[in-house]
Structures are given as structure tokens and as C-alpha cells.
Homo-oligomer: A and B are copies of this chain.
Amino acid sequence: MERTLIKDLKNHVGTEVLINGVVNVARHQGKMAFFDFRDRSSLIQGVVFGKPEVLEVAKDIGAEYAVAVKGIVNKRPEKMVNATAPNGDIELEITGIEILNPSEAMPFDMSADFSLDVLLDNRPLTLRRERERAIFKIQHTIITAYREFLVSEGFTEFQAPKLVGGDAEGGAEVFKVEYFDGKSAYLATSPQLYKQMMVGVFERVFTAGSMFRAEKSATTRHMSEIAMLDLEMGFIKDHTDVIALVTKLMRFITEEINKKCGAELSLLEMPPALAPETFPVMTLREAQELIKQETGADKTAEPDLEPEDERFLCEYANKHWQSDFVFVTHFPTSKRPFYTHIDPEKPEFTRSFDLLFRGLEMCSGGQRVHNYAELIERIKSKGLDPDKFEFYLQAFKYGIPPHGGIGMGLERLTMKYSGVKNVKEASLFPRDMNRIDLLLSEGESSEAK
């Protein structure tokens, strides 16, 4: 008999089917056994009753057993219908059950409220929970929507290298790799330089992949390895062209999540994100004036926003402008990297922006320097050595179009769409100062837990 996916069982009422699945919950009651089975598509309840030979097999089956189950799909009696559960109006009258792979008894109650360490130490198990599957279904939807939208806008995907030859860009802390013959390589902190080179090749490009930060910080917002979503586009007039594209991108991602992850948002008790046709845009100085006016805190001379400012601006935008997104533009030239385009009308500020979403900086971007001579000057002005950028500079010596773009963190997006409090819950296998799968301080032996 061919396998039927659980989501399709409702089309087979009254007939015998074969499902493959994993036991989500098992309840044994003497001559009866009740199971909830899950497969990749949905959940279904199954019952063994009045079949001693089936019960003989079923009685040993507990949670996480992988099984093949034959049964008749029955409508539930009216009073047994569970309107809120998937397949709550049908159940499987089990006629046969085969164990494909057994499971030991679970080491903890899977529905418990775990500490972060227990959650992460037992990731292969805890990821199987409905809550975790909901978070990473949303993550899958974000990255799929990101690519689909950009391809529809004429972007070409490219593979950015993760091994780089030097820490040319400076700034962020960089991991060192033992390369061949005593030479060193480094792990990329951003695909910035490569995506700019690629503007000369395909005009509009995007990439998505791991980036690495050796920051010694243990916050709820930082990890050693993150998945970055980067795009770069040529022939812009200034950063506002990028803001317009990013607005459409975030609206598309939001729509896709609302369309495809309704059940997941309900489970996580998250409302759909507010993504109006245009998002509020203000300069850093305007944002600081607003903060001063509304809270009394005078930060109008600060070079950047603090986390509490980001939270305030998002709360304000949600309340007054019905937007969970806010663009803040024109960060000081002194605080932005060398490739950031200076605003010719206010040279102490740049044509840069951050996008805030639900209280957190989600993405940084802006127009870039495209003029070769200016770029060399900017590199020098940051105390960096243009000779180390020889490969990158080829793209500018030979006429790259005016361009700009953004980079944003997939885990931060996932965190804010799914409502988890720590970005590590939005990474399948988060790495930080103290953890690579298991806690580093406790080593990798089987005694680690």
C-alpha cells in the first residue's frame, strides 16, 4: 500500500490507508492505546481497540518511535471533534502497526519550559517540539521569500566566499584559520566587498550564508556564526532607492509569513507584523529629537542609537504610524565604514540607514562610494591600507555603477517574527563564546551533561 501524508487523510474517510510517522504522544489504557502521530505534513490521532494482535505490538510503543501504521480513517463523533487541532474531526482506527525504529524513553517532559542550556544541549530532541518547528518553519519562509522577491526584481544569486585572505576591513573581531603551509586565512565577517564587486558583473546581486564574528559578547542578540542576507543593486540615485526596494522586500516577506505560517504564528501567539505601504523614515537627528521630545532624554549629540532608543522608536511607530518597521538614516561619517557614501549636502553624515523591526536593528545599509579616487581617500581616512584592498579596488578602477545595498541577519528576523526573546532560540545550532552544540567549558565527552 502506498503511503498517504497525514494532511491528506481527510480525503480518505472510510478507507484503509498507510501512514508513516513518529509518535508524538502515546497513552496506553489496558485494552486500548491512543497515539498522536506526526509526519512532515500534519498530526493525527490513532486508536487501537479490539485487535489483540495489534495491541501486542502497540503496547511497547512510546513517544518518538518511528512507525508505519495501517488504519481506517473515521469521522469522529460530533462531541469528540476538536475544532482547534489539525485533523480534529477525524481519527485513525489502527489495523496494523510496524516499528521502523524504536526510541528510548524520553529523558525529560518535552512540553516543559526549558532553560536555554537544556534547550540547546538537547537540540536534536528539543527541535522536534511544535514550538521549535514553528520557529524554523518561519525561518524557512523568510529566506525562501527573500530569494523569490529578489529574483522577481532581476537580482542574481551568487556564492560569497567565507575564507578570506586578510582582516582588511578592520573593525569587527575576526576568527583566524590555520591555512596551508603555515599561512593564515580568516573567516569572513560580511560579504560586503564581494557583493560590491559583483555589482559590476550582474548589476543586482544577492547572497545568503554564514558569516562569523569573534565578538566577546554574551548578549541575547549576538552569536559567533550567523546567516546573513545580503543584497546590492547598481544604478541607484541614492540610498532612498535602496529603502524603497527593502520596503517592498519586507512587505513581501511579511505577506508570505502571514499566508504560509498562520498556524505557526497562532502557536507562538504572535500577531502579523504591521508593514504599511511605506515605512516611517527619519534621520538619526530627527529620531533623537523625537526621543527628547517624548521622553526628555537628550541624546541629540550621540553618534548612534542605543538598544533602548531602538525599542522606543519601534513602540512609537507601532502606536502612531501602525508600522513595526522604522528606517533611521544619516548616521555620522565617523561611525560608518569607509565604503559608505557621504551625503554631499551634509558631509558629516552618510547616505546610510538602519532598519529597525519590533525594537531591534535588523539591517544596515545605504549607498556606497563608487568613485575610485574617493574610495582610496576614504580607506586612508579610516587608517587602513589601500594596498590591502587591491583585489577589491579593481572593480572601482574600472567603472562600477553607483550602487547600494543592505545586509541583514536571518536569525534576528526569525527572532522578531516568531517572538522569541533570545536570538539563540532562532538559530538551529547556535555558536557563541561558550557553546558549539554542547557547552565548550564542559568538553565533548559523554559526561558533558
Contacts and interface: CB of A to CB of B under 8 A. Distances in A.
A446 interface: yes
Contact of A235 (B100, B177, B235, B399): B100
Given A156-B137, A397-B104, A428-B158, A437 B391 contact: yes
Nearest to A40: B203
A448 B147 contact: no
Nearest to A168: B444
Nearest to A434: B180
A429 B100 contact: no
A335 interface: no
A444 B391 CA distance: 9
Interface in A183-201: 183, 185, 187, 194, 197-198, 200-201
A201 B371 CA distance: 49
Interface string A56-77: 0000000011101000000000
A137 B201 CA distance: 11
A400 interface: yes
Given A159-B428, A175-B177, A397-B103, A444 B154 contact: no
A272 interface: no
Given A203-B39, A210-B210, A446-B387, A100 B397 contact: no
Contacts of A68: 235
B438 A391 contact: yes
A266 interface: no
A204 B40 contact: yes
A101 B236 CA distance: 12
Given A3-B235, A210-B209, A133 B103 contact: no
Contact of A445 (B133, B140, B235, B387): B387
Interface in A230-276: 234-235
Contacts of A64: 398-399
Interface in A39-56: 39-41
A359 interface: no
Contacts of A65: 399
Contacts of A136: 156, 158, 201-202
B156 A140 contact: yes
Interface stretch (A120-128, A284-292, A308-316, A318-326): A120-128
A22 to B, nearest CB: 7
A127 to B, nearest CB: 5
A388 B444 contact: yes
Contacts of A137: 156
A66 B200 CA distance: 9
Interface in A73-115: 100-104, 106
Contacts of A429: 160-161, 194
A394 interface: yes
A381 interface: no
A418 interface: no
Those 8 A-B pairs whose CB atoms lie nearest each other, nearest first = A103-B399, A40-B203, A165-B436, A64-B399, A124-B395, A20-B235, A66-B401, A124-B394
